[in-house]
Structure 1
Amino acid sequence: MESMVVMDTLWVLIAGMLVFFMNLGFAMVETGFTRAKNSVNILSKNFIVFAVSSLGFLVLGWGLMFGDGNGFMGLKGLFFLTGLDNSPNIGDAYNGVYSAISWTGVPLLAKFFFQLVFCGTAATIVSGAVAERIKYHAFAIFVFFMAIFVYPIIGHWIWGGGWLSGLCMLDFAGSTVVHSVGGWAALAGVLILGPRFGKYNDDGKPIPIPGHNLPIANIGVFVLWLGWFGFNPGSTMAADPVSISHIVMTTNTAAVAAILSSTIISWILLGKPDLGMTLNGCLAGLVAVTAGCAFVSLSSALIIGFIAGILVVLSVIWFDHIKIDDPVGAISVHLINGVFGTLAVGLFAQDGIGGVSSPNGLFYSGGFSLLLSQFTGIIATAFYVFLISLIFWFILKSTIGIRVSLHEEIQGLDIGEHGNTAYPEFLSRKPIYSAIGIDQGEGSSTVIKSIDKKENIK
């Protein structure tokens, strides 16, 4: 018994460390997909987001999420450090106020750490969507609010013994609890912020603003892919070889299927196999299978991933068309595919397929019951997270402001917000073009007339 608890604890902590490592992946993806002049800002936000969300979750979020209470929120053990279990010895039965998570026998602090890194993941999703125009301190304040009053409430509804768990809604590793929550909060922020300067022309057509470093974005996706092998199978919170093996394979299968489908559909629609779309396709497949990774077969995971890869490409194009400016495609990856992945459970779930008991989905003679529960959870999450996030973003905008000045946005947030730059050698002697004219005569090459005044940047 004691040795099993030790193994379970080691597995949970290692999986939690892999999820923590995903912060590096998010930092690299977001930095690579944005412009060089905002690199320090993106990197700094991805550091501060985990620190701030950790503090908020420690102080109150954990208690609201897992404390014994009602169907809406936890009411006991609200302040984590005052609600510790009094049976710390290995093998002792848990008798604290966090009974919703007593199903796993690992020590309470191991449970806390694993849930903490999930909270940080939900918060960091917002960072990429609001990139290149948000005030640093406004973002940090929103993250603190999100870690206390947004993520834990939905987490309680689904994982903490709340009303959605009573409806048998299934979300094994967080397509809704983590990814959709982050996506809805991000969408609210983007709507309040508005698009970046220069993103749309006078006719409303989107102007591409390419990221400055696709190699680092590519590496970031590989880091996230690796982290997902802790994110999904770690949610067993037990070293169960059958379940872990199954979940690793469904996770990987969905990812590779989405890589291929996103590459194909972007090739068809854009004329070339767009690398950015392929990278987001991988993430979309991972997000979509997260809810059902323990409940679906490998063939179902293949279908889920393939659809997710198509959805993310269509979504990125659609959001651009309706002037919702998301520099990294975070809303398309996490919100759209978080919703799809949650619904997919209601279609593809099979009882006992990965050693985990669950109701059957619609395609496996389960009827509409599970699908209806999944749909209810999606609607409830959307209503609560989007509304409360919209209200808080609006309060921040009306008080301290959330958007940097136009001058700072054009200059870059690295200088304006941090007084620093990721690439100082590029600014040591920068040409300033005060007049540029472009002439394209018939049969002639482009002629560029410029007045080049070289000045030292001080």
Structure 2
Amino acid sequence: MLSKRRPAAIIAATGLATLVLFLVRPSVAYAAGVEEETAFVFNTFSFLIWGALVMWMCAGFTMLESGSVRTKNASMICLKNIGLYSIAGLAYFFIGYNLMYGDIIGGFIGTPGFMYLPSAAEVALLDAGDAEAAAAAKLVLEEGSYSVMSDWFFQMVFVATAASIVSGALAERVKMWSFFLFTLVLTGVIYPVVGAWTWGGGWLAEMGFVDFAGSTIVHSTGGWAALAGMIVVGPRLGKFRKDGSVRATPPSNILVVTLGVFILWFGWFGFNGGSQLALGSAADAVSMSIVLVNTNLAAAAGVITALAVSRPILGRTDLFAGLNGAIAGLVSITAAPDFTDHYWAVIIGAVGAVICTAGLKLLERVKLDDVVGAVPAHLFAGVWGTLAASIGVAGGAQFHVQLIGILAIGVFVFAVSFVLWKLIDMTISARVTHQVERLGQDAGELGMESYPEFVLMPDLDEEEE
């Protein structure tokens, strides 16, 4: 028995000795600090891991949207989401990244032209032998604190998020190829121009505009593009009765919607956490921890607040409103989760949820049909979060800068999107025919059904009044 226990005892003793040395001699671990190359590795790895997590948000949007529409349109939602992600990946690689992060011309737009990755220094490092490796690594480190390839990957998944917002708002009536054409321009040109003004170091960045992870740059951009599309494409057949009343359109599968929101919530930790843009020091690690805590607090506050206010605003305690409250809280805190204190994070998320819930009612009153509540959750909450970044942190001293950024981005994105949607509608038509809409896009455009064993839900216009 003693001989069988000896290996385990040796391992335990070795581990204990290592722990004692670590505690007694902390200078051994920390005196030298983190080397530059080590920080480069951690930063790059952080971008790749967080980027993969944000990519998972595409699945969340797919679940949220497919559960919100009628069953006869669920397959089209799946196709649109995997299609938009693919288009975003190609458009941002060949065009968008350079427009956003190239040499910014006049503070407004990056260098037009194809993007070539990896950088010359990174290629040289990969091709270098043992003797040249150190010199090649030095050249890479001189370029920046992380790999250019990892930066592109992380930024690309943000672009796809903006396009996903448009997909949900226009569900059940926008043509597949019309949507894909709009997505190409949105991800290849519109979003990168907005990014060049801000994260790319353009004129808004020079003014001091603050948007940590994209309440306005990502979410409001998607919201403005969606709003323009909603106006041009119009509401679903039968959504608004002739007398002006609204016909309720409950989600076909609230379980799938809930799963989608949980996936989005999970992915948002990568969305905001990765926007720290560094994980090479103790300060970076602490800051990232604060970001994740504030992100979770804002989302939780959004859920509870939305459930509480849904009864006086919507006339019932509404689960769908609570789920949108989570998204609104997440969008709201995205502008400044890094230096917002915890109590203010709760307030930001709660107010965002109130704005979102009231926004759902507002859209119905002005006869705008938003299937998933994308505009209230992303546009309205995004505007609030961007303004709150100045109110809570700088006592409102930066309020005018934030307001200028919101207005400039809003006018640009909405105007260009509206014109683009109009051009698409005048040429290839942005909307499916009434026949296809009644039949469902799954059967009408794809020749399939998501749930062939089930009876389809009634059409909205089946009992037109």
TM-score, normalised via structure 2 length = 0.85
Q: How much does 1:426 deviate?
A: 2.4
Aligned equivalent of 1:74: 110
8 Å contact kept, 1:265–1:313: yes
1:146-157 matched pairs, under 5 angstroms:
146-157=186-197
Instruction: State whether structure 2 residue 455 is matched by structure 1 residue 420.
Output: no
Q: Which has the higher contact order (CA 8 A, sep 6+)?
A: 2
Aligned pair partner of 1:219 in 238, 259, 267: 259
Q: Does 1:38 align with 2:38?
A: no
1:114 is matched with which residue?
Answer: 154
Q: Distance in 2 between matches of 1:330 and 1:392?
A: 20
Aligned-residue identity in percent: 40
* Residues 1:63 and 2:93 aligned together: no
What's the secondary structure of 1:92's corresponding residue? helix
- Are the equivalent residues in 1 in contact too, given 2:197–2:205 (CA < 8 A)? yes
Give the distance between the partners of 2:138 and 2:327, measured in 1 at CA: 38
Residue 203 of structure 1: how far off its partner (Å): 1.1
Matched, 1:323 2:351: no
Partner deviation per Cα, 1:218-257 (whole Å, 9 max, x = no partner): 0000000000000001011211211110000110111011
Match of 1:382 in 2: 410
Q: Which of 64, 71, 76 in structure 2 is aligned with 1:29?
A: 64
- Residue 204 of structure 1, CA deviation: 1.3
Paired residues of 1:73 and 1:153 also in contact (CA < 8 A): yes
Structure 2 counterparts to residues 157-176 of structure 1, below 5 A: 157-176=197-216
- CA shift at 1:10, angstroms? 1.5
Retained in 1: the 8 A contact 2:314–2:361? no
Distance in 1 of aligned mates of 2:380 and 2:438: 30
Taking the aligned partners of 1:413 and 1:5, their CA distance within structure 2 comes to 48
Aligned letter for 1:399? T
* Matched residue type, 1:324: L
Distance in 2, matches of 1:228 and 1:56, equals 23
Q: How does 1:123-138 map to 2 (within 5 A)?
A: 123-138=163-178
Cα drift, residue 272 of structure 1: 2.5
TM-aligned CA deviation for residue 343 of structure 1: 0.5
Contact 1:225 1:283 in 2 (8 A): yes
Corresponding residue for residue 273 of structure 2: 233
1:409 to 428, 432, 437: 437
Cα shift at 1:341: 0.6
Give distance in 1, aligned partners of 2:101 and 2:66.
34
Match of 1:47 in 2: 82
Structure 1 residue 93 displacement after superposition: 4.8
C-alpha distance 11-413 of structure 1, shift in aligned 2 (>3 A): same
Q: Structure 1 regions of 5+ residues with no counterpart?
A: 97-101, 350-359, 363-367, 437-458
Give the 3 Å change call, closer, same or farther, for CA 384–205 of structure 1 in structure 2. Answer: same
What is the deviation of 1:270? 3.1
* Cα offset, 1:85, TM superposition: 4.1
Do the aligned partners of 1:5 and 1:91 also contact (CA within 8 Å) in 2? no
Aligned counterpart, 2:247:
207
Structure number with the higher helix fraction is 2
CA distance in 2 between partners of 1:271 and 1:324 (Å) = 20
* Residue number among 183, 186, 210 corresponding to 1:143 in the alignment: 183
Give 2:246's aligned amino acid.
P
- Tell me the SS of whatever aligns to 1:331: helix
User: 1:229-308 maps to which residues of 2 (within 5 A)?
Assistant: 229-239=269-279, 240-308=284-352
Relative to structure 1, is the Cα distance of residues 92 and 261 closer, same or farther in structure 2, using a 3 angstrom cutoff? same
CA distance in 1, matches of 2:370, 2:163: 16
* Cα separation, 2, equivalents of 1:6 and 1:116: 20
CA distance 1:91–1:19, shift in 2 (3 Å): farther
Matched to 1:237, the amino acid is L
Q: Secondary structure at the match of 2:260?
A: helix
CA 1:340–1:431 in 2, change beyond 3 Å: closer, same or farther? closer
Whole-Å Cα distance in 1 between the matches of residues 139 and 392 of structure 2?
A: 38
| Separation (CA, whole Å) in 2 of partners of 1:139 and 1:273 | 34
2:232 pairs with 1:192: yes
TM-score (norm 1): 0.86
Residue deviations 1:185-229, cap 9 Å, x none?
000000000000010011111111111000000000000000000
Tell me which structure has the larger Cα radius of gyration. 2
- Runs of 5+ unmatched residues, structure 2: 1-34, 126-136
Tell me the C-alpha RMSD between the 2 structures. 1.9
Distance 2:212 2:64 in 1: 25
Is the contact made by 1:86 and 1:95 (CA closer than 8 Å) also made in structure 2?
no
| Alpha-carbon separation, structure 2, partners of 1:63 and 1:84 | 13
Q: How many residues are treated as equivalent by the alignment?
A: 409
**In structure 2, what is the Cα distance between the partners aligned to 1:311 and 1:91?**
50
Deviations 1:288-332 (A, max 9, x none): 000111121111101101101111110001101110100000011
What is the Cα deviation at residue 269 of structure 1?
2.7
Could you tell me whether the CA contact under 8 Å between 1:16 and 1:230 is conserved in 2? yes
Shift of 1:82: 6.8
Aligned residue number for residue 391 of structure 1? 419
Matched, 1:178 2:232: no
How far the C-alpha of 1:64 sits from its partner, in A, is 0.2
3-state SS in 2 of match to 1:202: coil
User: Contact 1:188–1:386 at 8 Å: present in 2 too?
Assistant: yes
Provide the secondary structure at the position in 2 that maps to 1:426: coil
SS class of match (2:329):
helix
Preserved contact between residue 85 and residue 108 of structure 1 (Cα < 8 Å):
no
